[in-house]
Amino acid sequence: MSADSLSINLTHHFLIAMPGLEDETFAKSVVYVCEHSERGAMGLVINKPGELSMKGLFEKVDLPLHRQDLMNAPVLQGGPVHTERGFVLHDGLWSHEAEPVAEVIELVKAAEDAAVLTAVSDKESVYASTMAIPGGLEMTTSKDVLEALSMGAGPKRVLISLGYSAWGEGQLESELAENSWLTVGADMAVIFDTPVDQRYARAMKLLGLEPWMLSGEVGHS
């Protein structure tokens, strides 16, 4: 891997699938990158709804949901790794005066070159297992955030996915070199305020592009 590829950090960026990317999971996807380092990357697909609504998810975990704004929101298919596990992307709740959390997840090489999310902890977070993402968001994997939402509280803006997306060391850089993805800084309005079926087009508009303008030969930003 080159020194230049090691310097790329796409944390708090969108990956926007190019037309040539025909993988069933990632075709026409927008991935929010939660962590990217020389060891790999992990993120959540933000525009692929699953079969469950949030109301349905809460019923499955035996919790009521007293957040009317979330009742009909879809639970997303965040990626092919740990699809039985929930990942909650939400507004950051830590103190603005707190020092940034340096490294709260560890991406390790797994059997199939996938990065694995291990236990995370952020002493400034309200929730038990939380990763603070530079850019103002948090990702929580513990049930306490669901319990807060159940009681009508919790973060104002929330996205829940089952599963996440992972790249081993150098894998994402290789896919970028193959023009599989466009990249652009993340916009929280696309994540939280845009209907799921419009997020792909809205993410591309951040680059001044429309879906019809793309071909498999276009490079990444």
- Tell me, yes or no, whether 221 lies in a domain: no
- Tell me, yes or no, whether 65 lies in a domain: yes
- Tell me, yes or no, whether 74 lies in a domain: yes
C-alpha–C-alpha distance, residues 162 and 65, integer Å: 18
Going by pLDDT thresholds of 50, 70 and 90, the confidence category of residue 124 is low
Q: What is the pLDDT of residues 139-174, one digit of tens each?
A: 999 999 999 999 999 999 999 999 999 999 999 999
Residue 96's region, left for phi above 0, alpha for psi from -120 to 50, else beta, is: alpha
CATH number of residue 23's parent domain = 3.40.1740.10
- According to DSSP, the β-strands at 137-140 and 30-37 are unpaired
C-alpha–C-alpha distance, residues 7 and 37, integer Å: 9
- Residue 77 is part of which domain span? 3-213
- Tell me, yes or no, whether 77 lies in a domain: yes
Number of domains forming the structure of the chain: 1
- Tell me, yes or no, whether 41 lies in a domain: yes
pLDDT at position 77 over 80: yes
Verdict on whether the full-model pTM lies above 0.85: no
Contact, 202 vs 193, CB < 8 A? no
- Tell me, yes or no, whether 219 lies in a domain: no
The pLDDT of residue 212 = 85
- According to DSSP, the β-strands at 158-167 and 74-77 are parallel
- Tell me, yes or no, whether 125 lies in a domain: yes
- Tell me, yes or no, whether 196 lies in a domain: yes
φ, ψ for residue 182 (rounded to 5)?
-95, 150
Q: What is the pLDDT of residues 187-221, one digit of tens each?
A: 999 999 999 999 999 999 999 998 888 764 444 44
